[in-house]
């Protein structure tokens, strides 16, 4: 079990979606928060909401984790603002859309790996050793169900999450008995702004229809429960556990869906998709940003 009340806690990607919901839930459990993301105005809004509930105002840290070195600077700022960082929630994420040969080793693909893999590892490098010396702490790594599937135009992003997932499971073994608890959170489709840009991929609606769309608040509650009960894995929505446990079957099923979707495209549209690379995320290309913003407008919570 992890004592959340009074624990210095860094949550990355806290400006929206799963990160924001998790930060709120942790604050209500008494955590001393530092919240990080690229958009200061959204972080300040989150801090205002937490303060309005009579809770301790979070430390607001603006960081672009797509930039090499930003994670080390963030770790230092979090330690300066909180003292000990007892809980790290590695939630920040970004992506890239495009065929594997189009993404290649270009800037968009490398940025996706920086956000989804290298920056979380940099935070671990700085924050886990002090946890080990104290003999207590927790790491929450948000990976993705994308680690077990392969959809056209989705492969580079999926590879970043698969790499992070394997690193997380390795760390669980390495830190066994150290007092540092590691949780892997594996979301399937969740009602966040990323759903807007995900749906730019032709035919992916057919895949997304195989799983219910989860709610970030429900996932946040499961993350906090996992911390409090010492669990090692959270899969949400729960129906996705089948794909995680039996990935071979899931991949064959997704392959059939994808090939049928591709076959339905005309030749010019298929060629266009094979040659296009789109940066996703809140600081992504205009097409992706507009898709995110449209989703947010259409699914705004009052």
Q: Which residue bears the tokens 């071979």?
A: 248
- Helix, strand, coil percentages for the chain (3-state, nearest 5): 55, 15, 30
Count Cβ atoms below 10 Å from residue 153 Cβ, excluding itself: 24
- The values of phi and psi at residue 66, to 5°, are -80, -10
Cα separation values, 191 from 2, 186, 265, 275, Å? 28, 14, 27, 29
157 is catalytic: yes
What kind and span of H or E run contains 232?
A: none
Task: State how far the Cα of 204 lies from the Cα of 194, in Å rounded to an integer.
Answer: 13
Q: 141 in helix, strand or coil? A: strand
| Contact (CB, 8 A) for 193 and 17 | yes
Strands (E), the chain: 8-12, 32-37, 59-62, 87-90, 96-97, 137-142, 180-187, 233-236, 278-279
Q: Would you state the structure tokens that stand for residue 21, as one six-digit string?
A: 């919901």
- The values of phi and psi at residue 140, to 5°, are -115, 110
DSSP annotation of 95:
-
- Given the residues 157, 176, 236, 253, select the one marked as catalytic: 157
| Contact (CB, 8 A) for 295 and 193 | yes
Q: Would you state the structure tokens that stand for residue 207, as one six-digit string?
A: 């895949």
Closest CA to 141 of 90, 188, 187: 90
Write out the catalytic residue numbers.
Answer: 157
């Amino acid at each position: 079990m992890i004592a959340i009340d009074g624990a210095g806690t860094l949550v990355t990607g806290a400006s929206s979606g799963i990160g924001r919901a998790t930060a709120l839930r942790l604050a209500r459990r008494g955590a001393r928060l530092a919240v990080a993301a690229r958009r200061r105005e959204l972080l300040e809004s989150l801090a205002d909401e937490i303060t309005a509930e009579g809770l301790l105002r979070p430390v607001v840290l603006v960081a672009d984790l797509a930039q090499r070195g930003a994670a080390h600077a963030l770790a230092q700022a979090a330690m300066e603002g909180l003292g000990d960082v007892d809980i790290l929630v590695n939630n920040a994420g970004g992506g890239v859309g495009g065929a594997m040969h189009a993404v290649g080793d270009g800037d968009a693909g490398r940025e996706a790996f920086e956000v989804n893999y290298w920056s979380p590892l940099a935070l671990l490098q700085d924050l886990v050793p002090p946890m080990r010396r104290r003999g207590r702490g927790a790491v929450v790594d948000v990976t993705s169900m994308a680690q077990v599937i392969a959809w056209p135009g989705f492969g580079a992003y999926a590879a970043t999450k698969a790499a992070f997932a394997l690193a997380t499971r390795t760390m669980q073994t390495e830190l066994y008995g150290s007092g540092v608890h590691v949780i892997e959170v594996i979301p399937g489709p969740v009602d966040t702004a990323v759903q807007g840009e995900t749906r730019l991929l032709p035919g992916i609606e057919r895949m997304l229809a195989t799983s219910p769309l989860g709610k970030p608040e429900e996932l946040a509650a499961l993350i906090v429960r996992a911390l409090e009960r010492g669990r090692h894995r959270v899969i949400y929505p729960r129906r996705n556990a089948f794909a995680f446990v039996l990935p071979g079957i899931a991949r064959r099923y997704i392959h059939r869906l994808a090939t049928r979707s591709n076959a339905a495209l005309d030749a010019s549209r298929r060629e266009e998709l094979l040659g296009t690379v789109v940066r996703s995320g809140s600081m992504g290309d205009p097409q992706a940003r507009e898709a995110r913003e449209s989703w947010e407008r259409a699914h705004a919570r009052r």
